[in-house]
Amino acid sequence: MKTKTNLWLAIWLLISLSACQRKPEFINHTPPNLTVSMDVFSDDTLLADFGCNEIQAPSSLIGGLEPSYPIATCIIQYIPGEGTEELAAEIESGQFFYYTGGLFGSYIRYIVYQDGEFVLLKTEEDLRKLFAPIESPDEALSYVLAVRNLSASYGIQYDPVYEYEVDTIEDTYVIPDADGHLVHLFHDQVFGCGPHWISEVDVHVSVEGDIEERSSRQIFRDPDLDDLCVD
């Protein structure tokens, strides 16, 4: 009886170890071939005109927006108690797309070059008025990436360093539906204290440009960073 018990214990242990070491299935997709034009944003006076601390090229994946205006990211490094009263009021009322970074991060806005003029986009409503309706998968992807602090990932592969929480991990994709598109994206919890999870996030964007988060779940992390705090 003791021998049989030990045998079943060994089998259970092997099954447990096998389950712990199982690799997820990875489903990869080809990224869309999109580009962003930045040629018109060489004038440094734009920094002062629009209150930007820095002007940067956005991800090329923003290039699916229609009409295809030249577009740049306006980086605002606002610290409460500093800067103009107007900027303080705008930031405090949420007139930006998202905040990125840690304790001393940045607020994101956009500048587009429309009909020979530079136009500052401060809010999601500004973007919606300019680019809706959202009619194609590429435009849906670009629109959500412009509005939300999420990322698209392609060619995701297994890394033995990571610990995985799911059986299947799929690259970014876009699925059309009756009222818009479902966009599969990711969020990397870089800042704050660990564990630092990578999560998959499904977001729906309607034809009118309304965005709704449908689901989110943690999928993997680097356990070596569990005790790390990032400001």
Q: Over the range 135-147, which residues count as b (16 or more CB within 10 Å of their CB) and which as e?
A: eebbbbbbbbbbb
**What number of other Cβ atoms are within 10 A of residue 205's Cβ?**
24
Contact predicate 100/145, CB 8 Å:
no
Nearest to 45 by CA among 111, 143, 107: 111
| pLDDT of res. 4 | 52
pLDDT at 104: 81
Residues written for the chain: 231
One pLDDT digit (tens) per residue for the chain, 231 residues:
555 555 555 445 444 444 455 799 999 999 999 999 988 998 777 888 898 999 999 999 999 999 999 999 999 998 877 778 898 899 999 999 999 987 788 999 999 999 999 999 999 999 999 999 999 999 999 999 999 999 999 999 999 999 999 999 999 999 999 999 999 999 999 988 989 999 999 999 999 999 999 999 999 999 999 999 987
Q: What pTM did the predictor assign? A: 0.88
Handedness of CA 147, 55, 76, 185 (dihedral sign): positive
